Structure 1
Amino acid sequence: MEVSSIMPKRPKQFHNESMSGYLFRLFKSNHFMPNSNYLRELELTYAQLLNNEVSDEIFYRICPWNRKRDFTYMNNTKSILGVLNDSWCNKLIQKNNLKFCPLCIQENFYHQLEWCILPLKMCTKHFVILQEGCGTCSKPLDYFSFIQQSCIFCLSPLNRLSIDQIQCDIFSNSQLNLKKTLIFREKSVVFDLEANDYIELVFASIRFLDGFKDFTGFSQDNMDIFHNRKYKTKSSINLAIAFSNADWLYTNFPNHFYYVLDLFIAKYKGMKRYGAFQHFETVVKRDCFTEIRDAFHQYCIQKLESGIIRRDFGVFREEPKLLQKRKIIRREEVKIEKGVTYGKMFRLAKNNLVQMNQSKRNEYYIDQTTLDMYLKEEKRWITKKEAALILGIHAASLESLIRSDLFEVSLKYSGKSKRINLDEVKELVARCRGELVKSIPSDYISFHDALIKYTIFNLSIVSLIQLILSGVLIPVRQNSEVTLREIYLNNDKLYKCLIAHKERNLTEKGYFFSDLLKVFKIGEKRLHRLLKEHNILPDIVSHYKDGRARFLYKETSKKRIQEVLVTNKKIRD
């Protein structure tokens, strides 16, 4: 008998429906139950049918009419494991027990492909916990019971279930990421890893997480991840929590990563510690884990220098070159050779200027590279107050000079306050001191008085220094060693420079309303009326914090106004 005659009723296949789920719906629609002879003829075992391990060829033999369709959804286990190694099948695929979303089956009663993923315990549409097995007697479900919509043990209907809404964003985001990685073949949000690399990283990382609290806050219990132990069974929820914690481990990287490693080292010793570190080192050798590998190596070096782990640790056997990166000396050597007291070393270490670690035996080790760098650079940086005394200006004016990139600043040498490069301060004074004269001419004005007098031109200390550095103004002085306060400038030349600068700004940037009044020598009411009658709008409108507006007119707008004034004058004449 042909298969097509056995299955005259052919229900529609949903795009995300598992292959075995569709076959059992097909069997139910045609009141057909596959027996051993039927499965033997198809070369299919009942276990493969129950675990969604039906091949494409067997599916077409059962449903030959699907060959004629333009598109058929081949949602079997192979579609999930297509990008993964075969070894992940037992760890990632749900077997011998079905799970389902209590809300999805109320909309359309069919089994979805994503429910076959063992670590997936959340409905990615409704954000509720997936029901696993019978909610009444907790017995496992197979496809036959699922399609019958009732448990074969207690006969309870599957649609009478409690709904647990997920409130933890970290857990739900991890479950969404897992679905996108395995079902849609997208890159993981963890370092943009491919599916196979992501799964390997997760299972290498959960060795550090097993036995600790749930860092995501989803569960209050300690994580119990591994099932290959006495009286242990596979648990979808435990593995889902493990995946969410592994994703959390690589957020805010490497802070969370180092935090968990610290907890792991403090709790475990011996083979458990060595085995987890060595397995992790083996996994992160590939190029896609470069950032993780570098952070992991840096952590191991830090623990080696602090005396927590030994140099025969498995990581250093795999990468012996890591031992060459140690650059630490004892605290006593620093005091004798560098002359740095213990108190200063602690202060520098507290401010993260010098790295200092303490071993279990209360021995302190100093990073030699950072110490030498600090001692060398410390002499080249001064405070703003010291720079202001050398320049002869107020300390508050230093900020404008810093913003104009005249000085290089650093925060590394005195905590929160800025330090300024001493060489650059001395060089600026040398370039601005000008010519040495016996007496100051009467038509010269001091640097400080010029800033006060020409405030109406928006003269700032930065613009005045730039005029001197460009050679437009040549200052004079009476003493060989002076500051900016003791230099003098030609008053007339400075005034001409400011006028020319203002005219250039008007041409380049534009004219304010008050500037147009002065240029055309007309009244405010007349100019307002002229602009309104000829629809001359400002090119730029700027608003102050108090709500006032200022209008800026470009050169083209100024010429239009001038043409209107000339035309009006001709008409009057």
Structure 2
Amino acid sequence: MIILFLIYVQPYENESLASFIFRTAKENFMEEPLWFLSLFTERYKHKLCESSLNWLDDIPLSEICEILKVNIQDAERMTFPNLLKQLHLPLKNKVKCPWIMYHTTKFCPFCIVEKQYHRIAWSLTYSHCCPKNNVFLIEKCVKCNKHITPRRIILDQCGCGATLSTFPVNYVEDLSLIEYQKIINNLFIKKGSFHLNKWITNHRMLFKSLEFFATWIPQILPKHEIPSIQNIAFSENVIARTRLKKEKSDQQALILYTYAYKLLYDWPNSYHNLIRTAENNVEDNNFSIFIKTALPNLLQTELYPIFKEFINYLGIYKLQTKDSLISLEEIPQLIKHFNKDIVESNYFHPLPVNLKDINLTVYKQKEIENWCNFYNESITKEEARSILGTSSKVTYQILSNNLIQDIAHKKNGSMTSWIIPIHALANFIKELKKQSVRTLEQKEIRTLNKAFEWIGYTNSHHLIRAMLEGKIKYIFNEKNLGNSVLPVHDIYTVIRNIMLKNAEIAGELPISNLTFLLGVKKSDIEHWIKTKRFGENKSLNAVTFENFHLFKKQYLTTYQLSHITGLSISQIIKKNYTGKIHSISGPKFNDGNKILFPINVLKDLQVHKYHF
């Protein structure tokens, strides 16, 4: 069956799609406009729901265009999705959409008399009055109290039989409400931006701001502090953080949206008054939630000015300062690699504020900005590690021992947060490059990373400090610090001297240091402790400095002998095997796994002076 109408009508200005469909049906003498939906189903084999007509898109909308002989662009302009797109408002869920009444509408009886169709603006949550006739819009039937749909507008009749165009009206006396509604309605006519105040410059920001304040005003203010409109007082209880259009009657929503509009229009004075009034009338924890959660959640959104003005309020009325302030939550926008532990350290001077037992902390923005000028071009520890080519543990030793100047850090438990200025790291690398040599005389060399594995990462900073101070020669690798090369002999000498100096102060040498100094394994040290080579030593984890000296006066390991004489390990072992030098301990004596020589072996090798 092909649907052909005798009469095809044209859309009115700002008419909704549902209105256009039902008006076409009425013009073609359908006693019940819903018959159109039955005919549509018969032709296209799928159903249309009355409540979804203003939400149509894609194929169903194209099919409507085919029936009504209207182009797709005109049809799209009559839908709610297009309206939201025009107003730059997001649509996540049609039923829960806060901006539009899903399938019911408000209306102006005078407008129905003038021209009987549904104006799409009437379904906007923020429409409360008709600026043309200066009357409040009507939300429900005055006889049966049922909601009105666009189809009822076309019929000019409620389901109970009451005539909509004859409903009594309530005139608007508050001129600010008329101005508010004109701004809302003009959004359907004027394209582009507008300026309600310094920061509300488009439709989306306006509606989001209205929704934010209309949601929170009844939660932080007692009812008697919410201004009434023409003897209409706010009287309903609030269900925290619910959708306003779902939980409030139109009259109650009118009070809140109008208050929100006036607050935005008189920005920031009215906003300051709101905070002050809320603070003086705290009855529950909603005010605390507003301050600690709702406002910070506006960061990095279009509504950030609402949060920022609250910080300004604290400065003006609580701290009596003209200095610009900044909150802890805002600082990440200024500092590239931000960690709140850094800010909460002694690098900054916090300004405590108390707001009805709500403790807040702010900072002078200039102080933060000055700090940022120095640290904003910075990197993290992991980024520094990547540049240097060192392990995480070695990089930590470099940072924690101040080998790189001007770094900022804060320790929180076992974790340390670092901010490393790029110029500081560059200076560190520059100094290392400056001390570098072109060639090394020694044949036995190691990369810096291999040296760190050998000496232990906890001693890595000692080696780098020696490099910076010119105490050890090395060839610097510009691409990767960890691949720089150093003489093994010099590495050993530098670290040995540091270990012995520290041991003299501490009174003992840890086993880990002894393995390095003697060039043996931990098990070898433990064996020599048990066999009293270190004298009477109670611990297997460390040797007293006194006992170490006792050992040093009597014995030499193969590695020590190699270091003193310049002979290789294999050469020393060969001399011992051929009987040119004699050992006193080791596998052939069934006394441990490592060879131990008496101190007088040096005479056999004709070494008369040595330092260890």
Using structure 2 for the length normalisation, give the TM-score.
Answer: 0.46
Using structure 1 for the length normalisation, give the TM-score.
Answer: 0.49
Higher alpha-carbon Rg? 2
